[in-house]
Amino acid sequence: MTDSLDNIRLPISNTLSAEDSLKLLFPDVSLLSQLERMRIAAGTRIKGMLAGKRRSSSLGGSQEFADYRPYAPGDDIRRLDWNVYGRTGRAYMRQYWDEQELHVSMYVDVSRSMNFGGGRNNKLHYAVRFAACVGYAALSGDDRVSIKLFAEQIQKELPPLHGRVSSTKLFQFLAEAMSRTEQSEPRKGNMEAAWGMSALDSSMAAPFKVAGALPRRSGAAWIFTDAMFEHGVEETIISLLAAGQRVVLVHLLSPDELSPELNGELKLIDSELGTGKEVAIGHKILTDYRQAVGNYRNELQRICAERGVVYIFVNTETPLEQTVNHTLLSAQVLNR
């Protein structure tokens, strides 16, 4: 089945039903069954807050053997390995790995520049559906999921969810965010609604500096953004790393932004401020533009590589199912 939103009408109501939310986010519901078999890669052993299915960096009471240590007075003799004692005459205690949950924190950029592209190429729609996939895989793996929508500040957040039964709340939260963008002032699906960065506040780091924006415990943090900020991308990454996160930066651009087909004298509109600029578009300008886009992508990739962050670039023309089954698995941020 084709992964497309072209024939789906978005509801006008502020509250979407569970069925409408599912239909909006997953036109091809077969993707859900694939996600149920996937798990979010934690990268290293983790420390969570509650018991779960992940092996943490601490020793605890799971059934997975870790190591031996010599017996000390006061130890629980039920963990004494009598076979070792019988062979060596020495008392050793069995130790087991502690199994805890992974907290997956997702941040979706909902700034005006994200609401660009027509149909399934719309960056925000793609990002929201992408976050739904990651969140559902995490909930299916018994991990904990929270999500925040951000622009110049944290716009809205969903408290931590746990268990696959909570996926309905996740889907409704994301589908409503997607529906609200459709009800707002329409954005043209071409470069006349050009890349938008507000001169008033063009730092990606600003919303991450407020209290409660960063995760309180170590885990995995996913950022879905077009990264169209004057500065603050690296600062945001550093803040999340300092908070003990394995960071995944998902960089989304539409095909019209990657390779615009424009010619002649046009007025390009700043999607953040609504201001415009008259520009004569020719072959040289388009060549320079594509080079600038490539350089920026390379710079983001360099920053991520130096910090140990996973950088994933997505052209929104790529079907979401292909991105999940190939790009994420190849990057080893999702495992089967």
All structural domains of the chain:
18-44+101-335 (3.40.50), 51-100 (no CATH)
Asked whether 300 and 251 are in contact (CB, 8 A), the reply is yes
Helix (H) or strand (E) holding 284: helix 283-307
Look up the pTM and report it: 0.78
Distance CA 49, CA 42 (A): 15
What integer is the mean pLDDT of 115-138?
A: 91
From residue 253, alpha-carbon distances to 91, 151, 171, 264, 312 in Å are: 61, 17, 23, 23, 11
Residue 212 burial (CB < 10 Å; 0-12/13-18/19+)? exposed
Q: What is the pLDDT of residues 178-221, one digit of tens each?
A: 887 655 544 444 443 333 334 445 899 999 999 999 999 899 99
Q: What is the mean pLDDT of the chain?
A: 82
Q: What is the DSSP pairing of strand 245-253 with strand 310-315?
A: parallel
DSSP secondary structure code for residue 326 in this structure: I
For the record, the structure tokens of 60 come out as 């605890």
**DSSP secondary structure string for all residues of 59-97:** EEEEEEEEEEEE--TT--GGGB-HHHHHHHS--EEEEEE
Looking at residue 190, its pLDDT comes to 40
Helix (H, G, I), strand (E, B) or coil at 13: coil
Looking at residue 185, its pLDDT comes to 47
Q: How confident is the model at residue 158 (pLDDT cuts 50, 70, 90)?
A: very high
Backbone angles phi, psi at 334, to 5 degrees: -125, 140
Looking at residue 263, its pLDDT comes to 77
Looking at residue 235, its pLDDT comes to 97
Distance CA 190, CA 187 (A): 9
Distance CA 78, CA 75 (A): 9
